[in-house]
């Protein structure tokens, strides 16, 4: 269900509120350009600064906009199991096809605590759950052995792996795929997506595809089909943006890049601020180098 390319979509803002007109155009553009699923209200969507009322409205809007054409996954992770359950149940009730649950941040649970956290959330909903491992933001790495335990729970459907460790990716694939071939191992780092798929993984949850959805989804499909040389060509073509979309904290650079495409305002919510002049120059040069038409 969650193989291929899922875009971790930006949330357009306008004069402090959610710009639903731009959001609808953007979601349609993503679907028309071939992405396999949408991830809404992740970190790229500035979920920490979205209000409770906006969250419900955004989920309802995204589900309606997708109209069954692609699955809609909602980011629901917090560092409280109870609140994560509540947000996951809300997403399920509003029609989401799955939830993306980040490892609890700041309070740094043990591996057993992580297992029990995800197990409790999965038991509280019927829709699929994707584990999100991003130790650079959370301070905690969920180990492959713990993910392997979680893969035995049927509605734990996959992992977005963003530890940045190729050996960890290989260990995940090696441990899990022999027992649970339908468990989706997805890259959380665009610059490792090509490598992950060629190691036996299933795709990417991508920041890059906010800007280059057709090329990103084509690269992943080619890699999954074993057309490695064609996939590698696209990987190298897009590499400047893969790297430079993180010259400042995500989603600052990607929000600017999407704005340069005319798809939303370059507006973020504090504590995030718009890209610096230096960042904008780097992104402009990367867009040009990758052949993106402005």
pLDDT confidence of residue 53: 97
Domains of the chain by residue range:
4-239
d(CA 241, CA 20): 26
- Is 205 annotated to bind a ligand? Reply is yes
d(CA 180, CA 177): 5
Q: Is 14 a catalytic residue?
A: no
d(CA 89, CA 79): 16
- Find the helix or strand (DSSP H, E) in which 128 lies: none
- Catalytic: which of 132, 178, 230, 243? 132
Position 39 confidence tier, pLDDT thresholds 50, 70, 90: very high
Query: Which residues, other chains included, contact 59 with Cβ-Cβ below 8 Å and sequence gap of 6+?
Result: 40, 41, 72, 74, 90, 91, 94, 95, 96
Q: Is 243 a catalytic residue?
A: no
d(CA 209, CA 97): 20
The mean of the pLDDT values for the chain is 97
pLDDT confidence of residue 1: 78
- Catalytic: which of 115, 160, 255, 256? 160
What fold, for 4-239? TIM Barrel (3.20.20)
Q: Using the predicted structure, report yes or no on whether residue 165 has a pLDDT greater than 90.
A: yes
List the helix and strand counts (H, then E) for the chain: 12, 10
- pLDDT digits 0-9 by tens, 64-120: 999 999 999 999 999 999 999 999 999 999 999 999 999 999 999 999 999 999 999
């Amino acid at each position: 269900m969650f193989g291929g390319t899922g875009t971790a979509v930006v949330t357009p803002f306008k004069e402090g509120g959610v710009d639903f007109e731009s959001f609808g155009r953007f979601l349609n553009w993503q679907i028309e350009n071939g992405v396999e699923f949408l991830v809404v209200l992740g970190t790229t969507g500035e979920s920490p600064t979205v209000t409770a009322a906006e969250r419900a409205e955004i989920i309802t809007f995204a589900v309606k906009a997708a109209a069954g054409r692609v699955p809609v996954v909602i980011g629901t992770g917090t560092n409280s199991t109870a609140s994560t359950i509540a947000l996951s149940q809300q997403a399920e009730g509003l029609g989401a096809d799955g939830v993306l649950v980040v490892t609890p941040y700041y309070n740094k649970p043990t591996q057993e605590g992580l297992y029990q956290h995800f197990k409790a959330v999965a038991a509280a909903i019927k829709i699929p759950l994707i584990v999100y491992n991003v130790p650079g933001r959370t301070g905690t790495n969920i180990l492959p052995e713990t993910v392997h335990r979680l893969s035995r729970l049927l509605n734990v459907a996959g992992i977005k792996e963003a530890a940045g460790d190729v050996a960890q990716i290989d260990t995940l694939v090696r441990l899990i795929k022999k027992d649970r071939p339908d468990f989706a191992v997805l890259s959380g780092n665009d610059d490792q997506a090509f490598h992950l798929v060629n190691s036996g993984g299933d795709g990417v949850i991508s920041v890059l595809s906010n800007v280059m959805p057709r090329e990103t989804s084509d690269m992943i499909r080619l890699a999954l089909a074993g057309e490695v040389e064609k996939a590698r060509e696209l990987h190298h073509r897009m590499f400047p943006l893969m790297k430079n979309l993180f010259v400042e904290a995500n989603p600052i650079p990607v929000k600017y890049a999407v704005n340069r495409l005319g798809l939303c305002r370059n507006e973020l919510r504090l504590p995030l601020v718009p890209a610096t002049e230096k960042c904008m120059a780097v992104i402009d040069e990367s867009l040009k180098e990758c052949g993106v038409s402005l």
